């Protein structure tokens, strides 16, 4: 990592430029810049909390961890930890910045408040919208952020073939290889979501994997189904965050695949940790190749459910306190071969430090020796950086391209039909394929009431088709009136709309177009809540607390509308690599068969 430190004002010099000074400081021949005293040290190396310690920092790195009282006074700044626990900053091995609805610079505020100092982000969302230009814009954004941000390059853009959906980007093996060669902070290949083509030996999928492996970069994964594990691991995938239960987690570990236990708000699809961690708590697996991660967080949940929250969940489930923190720090660092730089309190490591209380709640955070959060409040140093955020290029603000006239709802059947319906079930990752026998009715509302249905429509928004619109039916979604819509329809990020009538669905679509992207709720022709996302139709350019307030208001209206899936689960409805049925701009897709079916078939 020393040779690939990102060039920001908060960068720490590579270790080889500081070894003499650090040795002098550690030996008492030179003054440290900072001494954090009155602390207990959380050792991720020995799984212990060491009492009465102080941390000597020089040049943004740890010179030594000493017994309390070793520093005799001099020019160093002194910070009194008042008996708190000092641990290494958290390392999140798998996240998506775009899901937070804020830019990388804005993301840093929430991360540092929650004790996270390093993240590995997969930016396949902006890659799906803007191709290489989007990936590179996010890398520029990340370079200006007061956070160590590394990239696992988007590997599956588009997620399926052009015959099944329309994406804004097309990241070929050649493009991915060129990104690896140009950007040193691109340290791995991001989640290979097309696990069925990978295990079936698809040529393009394996060429993309080869672009990473041939350059010595590891490959991250995304897999559902124990039957796919062996072939997936044999294809070169060495981590995944999609271990949803104990048994597949155990299979993955034994196949040599790191698992990142994903924790998140229990009402969302991002909380598989309680089940998957049973590979440790019930089957006795070692935590040696297990980390924790957040994956997706919106702006509000980013503040309330950070990686520190996930660590505490592991602790409450029964993982020892020090082990839980190690799973959130040195484990991710080790997976990416950076444990000599981050994840622990060893000499020479970056001074990315967190002051914790006894419940592992972060109180203060240092990034490269700079105090960014002090007693739960951001410092003037961090404030100044957050106000000077990166601005994305103009092209990122012009990614919604819609035809003037669109028909958003299907025609009412005039004869008995069999409908291929998407059934929503919590937590919302897997969607059920239901075949309903529909008898003719005078209006759609009669059929909706009879079968608990609503419309679901996907509109191509990249301007790459003649206005593709796919119309379907969604069961068990709970929406009784109005419409909801989002420009964050994974993974091609077309616009997804659910509604009970054409008029409200059209209002929702127009609102998204006017804001250049976003998520909204409409009732009786009125937009009752809106989160504008003008950057690639994915992110706001505001500070995280402002966006969090907009998200909170959206969730209130979303719940009032009766929606059973949270909006982030709703965004997954077009994700055409997860079973059993999805809808893209080109129609209904069965997974894992990867075949299309019509909305209506002749009744049997």
CA distances from 362 to 114, 115, 173, 306, 377 (A): 6, 6, 41, 11, 11
Q: What is the arithmetic mean of pLDDT over 576-599? A: 94
**Paired residues of 216 in beta bridges:** none
Q: CB under 8 Å to 67, separation ≥6 — which residues?
A: 52, 53, 54
Please write the tens of the pLDDT for every residue from 378-401.
Answer: 999 999 999 999 999 999 999 999
- Reported as type and span, the H/E element at residue 207 is helix 203-213
Rounded to 5 degrees, what are φ and ψ at 552? -60, -45
Residues 215, 189: Cα–Cα separation, whole Å:
10
Higher local confidence (pLDDT), 215 or 268 = 215
The Cβ of residue 48 has, within 10 Å, a number of other Cβ atoms equal to 12
Give the residue among 557, 488, 377, 369 at the shortest CA–CA distance from 100: 488
Could you tell me if 201 and 220 are in contact, meaning their C-beta atoms sit under 8 angstroms apart?
Answer: no
CB-based burial of residue 336 (10 Å sphere; 0-12 exposed, 13-18 middle, 19+ buried)? buried
pLDDT at 6: 52
CA distances from 542 to 139, 150, 336, 467, 557 (A): 18, 22, 31, 31, 21
Residues 188, 185: Cα–Cα separation, whole Å:
9
pLDDT at 1: 34
CA angle, 34 then 37 then 38, to 5°: 165
Q: Where are the alpha helices (DSSP H) in 338-437?
A: 380-386
Q: Where are the alpha helices (DSSP H) in 282-406?
A: 299-304, 307-317, 321-327, 330-335, 380-386
Residues 95, 138: Cα–Cα separation, whole Å:
14
DSSP output for 436-470: EEE---SSHHHHHHHHTEEEEEEE--BS-SS--EE
pLDDT at 137: 98
Kindly state the DSSP code that residue 185 receives in the 8-state scheme.
T
Please write the tens of the pLDDT for every residue from 307-316.
Answer: 999 999 999 9
Please write the tens of the pLDDT for every residue from 327-365.
Answer: 999 999 999 999 999 999 999 999 999 999 999 999 999
Greatest pairwise CA separation for the chain in angstroms: 90
417-423/600-602 β-pairing: antiparallel
Please write the tens of the pLDDT for every residue from 97-121.
Answer: 999 999 999 999 999 999 999 999 9
Q: What is the arithmetic mean of pLDDT over 227-254? A: 96
Residues 347, 61: Cα–Cα separation, whole Å:
8
Please write the tens of the pLDDT for every residue from 493-543.
Answer: 999 999 999 999 999 999 999 999 999 999 999 999 999 999 999 999 999
Query: What is the percent of the chain with per-residue pLDDT over 90, rounded to a whole number?
Result: 91
- pTM of the entire structure? 0.94
Distance from the first to the final alpha carbon of the chain: 62
Please write the tens of the pLDDT for every residue from 55-68.
Answer: 999 999 999 999 99
pLDDT at 8: 57
Residues 15, 368: Cα–Cα separation, whole Å:
12
Please write the tens of the pLDDT for every residue from 30-55.
Answer: 999 999 999 999 999 999 999 999 99
pLDDT at 132: 98
Could you tell me if 259 and 289 are in contact, meaning their C-beta atoms sit under 8 angstroms apart?
Answer: yes
Give the residue among 249, 203, 257 at the shortest CA–CA distance from 224: 249
State the pLDDT confidence band at 160, using cuts at 50, 70 and 90.
confident
The full set of domains in the chain, from first to last, is 91-331 (3.20.20.140), 398-602 (no CATH)
Query: What is the percent of the chain with per-residue pLDDT over 70, rounded to a whole number?
Result: 98
pLDDT at 370: 96
At 71, list the tokens.
Answer: 């520093």
Give the residue among 54, 86, 68, 60 at the shortest CA–CA distance from 8: 60
């Amino acid at each position: 990592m020393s040779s690939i430190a990102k060039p920001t004002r908060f960068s720490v010099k590579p270790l080889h430029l500081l070894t003499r000074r650090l040795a002098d400081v550690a030996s008492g021949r030179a003054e440290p810049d900072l001494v954090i005293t009155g602390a207990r040290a959380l050792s991720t190396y020995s799984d212990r909390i060491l009492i009465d310690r102080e941390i000597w920092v020089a040049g943004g790195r740890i010179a030594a961890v000493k017994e309390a009282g070793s520093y005799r006074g001099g020019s160093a700044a002194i910070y009194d930890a008042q008996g708190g626990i000092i641990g290494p900053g958290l390392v999140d091995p798998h996240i998506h910045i775009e899901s937070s609805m804020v830019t990388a610079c804005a993301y840093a505020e929430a991360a540092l408040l929650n004790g996270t100092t390093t993240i590995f982000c997969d930016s396949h969302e902006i890659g799906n919208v803007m191709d290489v230009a989007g990936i590179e814009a996010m890398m520029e954004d990340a370079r200006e952020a007061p956070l160590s941000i590394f990239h696992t390059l988007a590997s599956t853009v588009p997620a399926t073939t052009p015959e099944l959906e329309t994406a804004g980007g097309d990241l070929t093996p050649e493009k991915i290889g060129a990104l690896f060669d140009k950007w040193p902070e691109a340290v791995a290949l991001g989640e290979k979501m097309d696990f069925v083509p990978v295990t079936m030996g698809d040529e393009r999928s394996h060429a993309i994997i080869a672009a990473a492996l041939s350059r010595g970069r590891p490959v991250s994964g995304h897999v559902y189904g124990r039957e796919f594990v062996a072939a997936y691991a044999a294809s070169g995938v060495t981590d995944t965050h999609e271990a949803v239960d104990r048994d597949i987690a155990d299979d993955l570990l034994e196949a040599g695949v790191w698992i990142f236990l994903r924790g998140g708000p229990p009402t969302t699809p991002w909380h598989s940790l309680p089940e998957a961690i049973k590979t440790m708590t019930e089957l006795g697996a070692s935590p040696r190749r297990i980390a924790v991660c957040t994956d997706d967080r919106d702006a509000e949940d980013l503040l309330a459910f950070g990686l520190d929250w996930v660590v505490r969940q592991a602790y409450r489930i029964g993982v020892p306190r020090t082990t839980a923190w190690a799973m959130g720090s040195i484990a991710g660092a080790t997976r990416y071969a950076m444990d000599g730089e981050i994840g622990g309190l060893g000499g020479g490591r970056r001074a990315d430090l967190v002051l914790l209380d006894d419940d592992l709640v972060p109180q203060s955070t240092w990034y490269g020796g700079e105090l960014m959060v002090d007693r739960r409040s951001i410092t003037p140093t961090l404030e100044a950086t957050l106000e000077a955020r990166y601005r994305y290029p103009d092209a990122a603000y012009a990614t919604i391209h819609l035809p003037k006239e669109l028909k958003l709802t299907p025609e009412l059947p005039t004869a008995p039909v069999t409908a291929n319906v998407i059934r929503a079930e919590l937590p919302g990752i897997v969607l059920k394929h239901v075949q309903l026998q529909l008898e003719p009715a005078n209006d759609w509302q009669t059929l909706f009431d009879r079968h608990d249905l609503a419309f679901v429509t996907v509109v191509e928004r990249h301007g790459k088709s003649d206005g593709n619109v796919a119309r379907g039916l969604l069961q068990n979604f709970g929406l009784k009136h109005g419409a909801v819509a989002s420009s964050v329809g994974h993974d091609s990020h077309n616009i997804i709309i659910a509604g009970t009538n054409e008029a409200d669905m059209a209002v929702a679509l127009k609102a998204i177009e006017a804001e250049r992207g976003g998520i909204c709720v409409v009732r009786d022709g009125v937009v009752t809540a809106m989160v504008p996302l003008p950057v690639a139709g994915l992110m706001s350019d505001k500070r995280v607390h402002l966006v969090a307030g907009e998200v909170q208001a959206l969730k209130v209206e979303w719940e009032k509308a009766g929606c059973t899936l949270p909006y982030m689960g709703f965004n997954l409805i077009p994700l055409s690599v997860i079973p059993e049925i999805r809808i893209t701009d080109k129609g209904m897709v069965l997974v894992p068969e990867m075949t299309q079916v019509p909305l209506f078939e002749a009744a049997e």
